[in-house]
């Protein structure tokens, strides 16, 4: 079997001779029966974006001048609890906190750690409240410039395997796997996963995606710490980490669900094509990747199976908004259901849009044009057609970060 080494590929990169493809570029060539051979490809950059509940931030920031309080017992940022510790920082006026991406504000369960971390990266000012060990309450404001150190740790990110959900029951069900309570009687399907763009889907088993490898997390260079907390050979995921302050707010943020605010992240990983086994694993396409469909109340009880080609092929990644059709409803349904708050005051912020499809499926005036697709299934012996109403993954962001990684490698700014 022919083989290459990382050193040989890095030398080709240094000399400007490496053949580098994004996963999107590579899959398009496969589908055209025009895929480059093993000898003709050196690196494929793969990416995924989606709700990643295991995300946490470790932050240190200044709250007050030294000497004003002993140490923090409780810390709240825009009402979102951040857990004080592990360092007490006695009398220093600074705090160390661990902030969960899934933590919810005391004032609004739809605002949480994901939205807060995006707000800070975008340069917004947030309110800080500290309850100290000596009975004091310190109230202040802060921006990202007040954070002396920030690190994101994802306990489980970039899952290879996901499940799609529908609701065959009569009553709506609240779940983190749907942007709003999922209506019953099979009225809609929600799913996650970027299919054949996903890094772990392209490296089965972990031939090159291993502990210590460099990756991009929300635009910042980071590292694989190892397997994620619920990883298994059948359902792998990764534990990742990167410098929070180096991240691009476009690639991370909050995502409202039926159970309150969650957090989404974007991850890109390079796959050096060292041997033909690694190359052959890259030949997977969406139609080859199974996606079980389960009862959202049962979760692990598949009703039927589909694949990612049925989820993504030919469908739109972003909506088109026609403000001429918007009648300015007194209570805008889209503003309520938009998971990322991308639609406000009759304006669509495409930088915040996730391409989930909720606007097109819920706008009462059809002001949003977006084909999110549908899927034919057989459930309890009956054939049904179910519209795809919500995506909790975003191929557009996954593609963009894969392209950024490719460009960094080509520019010799990211070494394998």
205 cis-preceded (ω within 30 degrees of 0)? yes
Task: Find residue 383's DSSP bridge partners.
Answer: 378
Residue 87: the pLDDT is 87
> Which pLDDT does position 328 carry in this prediction?
87
Instruction: Reduce the DSSP state of residue 26 to 3 states and report it.
Output: helix
DSSP count for the chain of H helices, then E strands? 8, 24
Helix (H, G, I), strand (E, B) or coil at 182: strand
How many other C-beta atoms can be found within 10 angstroms of the C-beta atom of residue 307?
A: 17
| Model pLDDT, residue 394 | 98
CA dist 125 and 320 (Å) reads 31
Tokens of residue 216, six digits: 């991009």
The predicted structure's pLDDT at residue 23: 98
Contact 192, 162 (CB under 8 A): yes
pLDDT by residue for the chain (416 residues), tens digit each? 479 999 999 999 999 999 999 999 999 999 999 999 999 999 999 999 999 999 999 999 999 999 999 999 999 999 999 999 888 899 999 999 999 999 999 999 999 999 999 999 999 999 999 999 999 999 999 999 999 999 999 999 999 989 999 999 999 999 999 999 999 999 999 999 999 999 999 998 889 999 999 999 999 999 999 999 999 998 999 999 999 999 999 999 999 999 999 999 999 999 999 999 999 999 999 999 999 999 999 777 789 999 999 999 999 999 999 999 998 898 999 999 999 999 999 999 999 999 999 999 999 999 999 999 999 999 989 999 999 999 999 999 999 999 999 999 999 999 99
C-alpha triplet 80, 85, 89: angle, nearest 5°: 115
pLDDT at site 10: 96
Q: What are the φ and ψ backbone dihedral angles of 253, each rounded to 5 degrees?
A: 170, -170
- Domain-by-domain residue ranges, the chain? 55-153
HSE-CB of 186 using CA atoms within 13 angstroms: 17
Name the pairing type of β-strands 214-217 and 94-100.
Answer: unpaired
């Amino acid at each position: 079997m022919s083989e290459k080494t990382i050193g040989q590929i890095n030398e080709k990169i240094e000399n400007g001779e490496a053949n580098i493809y994004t996963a999107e570029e590579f899959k398009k060539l496969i589908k055209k029966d025009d895929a480059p051979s093993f000898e003709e490809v050196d690196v494929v950059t793969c990416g995924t974006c989606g709700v990643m509940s295991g995300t946490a931030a470790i932050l240190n920031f200044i709250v007050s001048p030294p000497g004003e309080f002993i140490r923090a017992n409780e810390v709240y940022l825009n009402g979102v609890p951040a857990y004080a510790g592990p360092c007490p920082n006695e009398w220093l006026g600074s705090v160390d906190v661990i902030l969960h991406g899934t933590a919810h504000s005391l004032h609004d369960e739809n605002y949480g750690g994901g939205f807060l971390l995006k707000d800070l990266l975008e340069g917004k000012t947030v309110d800080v409240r500290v309850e100290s060990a000596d009975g004091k309450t310190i109230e202040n404001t802060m921006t990202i410039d007040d954070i002396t150190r920030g690190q994101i740790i994802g306990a489980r990110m970039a899952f290879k395997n996901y499940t799609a959900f529908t609701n065959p029951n009569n009553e709506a069900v609240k779940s983190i796997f749907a942007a709003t309570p999922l209506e019953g009687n099979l009225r809609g399907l929600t799913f996650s996963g970027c299919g054949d763009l996903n890094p772990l889907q392209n490296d089965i088993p972990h031939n090159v995606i291993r502990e210590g490898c460099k990756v991009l997390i929300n635009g910042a260079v980071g590292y694989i710490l190892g397997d994620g907390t619920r990883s298994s050979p059948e359902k792998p995921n990764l534990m990742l980490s990167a410098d929070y302050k180096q991240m691009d707010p476009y690639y991370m943020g909050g995502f409202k669900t039926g159970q309150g605010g969650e957090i989404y992240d974007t991850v890109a990983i390079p796959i050096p094509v060292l041997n033909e086994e690694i190359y052959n694993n890259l030949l997977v396409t969406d139609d080859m990747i199974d996606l079980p469909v389960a009862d959202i109340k049962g979760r692990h009880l598949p009703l039927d199976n589909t694949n990612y080609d049925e989820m993504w092929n030919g469908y739109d990644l972003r909506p088109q908004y026609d403000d001429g059709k918007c009648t300015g409803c007194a209570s805008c349904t889209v503003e309520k259901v938009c998971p990322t708050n991308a639609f406000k005051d009759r304006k669509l912020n495409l930088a915040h849009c996730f391409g989930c499809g909720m606007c097109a499926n819920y706008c009462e005036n059809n002001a949003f044009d977006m084909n999110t697709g549908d899927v034919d299934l057989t459930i309890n012996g009956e054939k049904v057609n179910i519209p795809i109403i919500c995506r909790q993954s975003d191929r557009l962001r996954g593609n963009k970060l894969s392209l950024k990684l490719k460009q960094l490698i080509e520019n010799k700014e990211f070494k394998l």
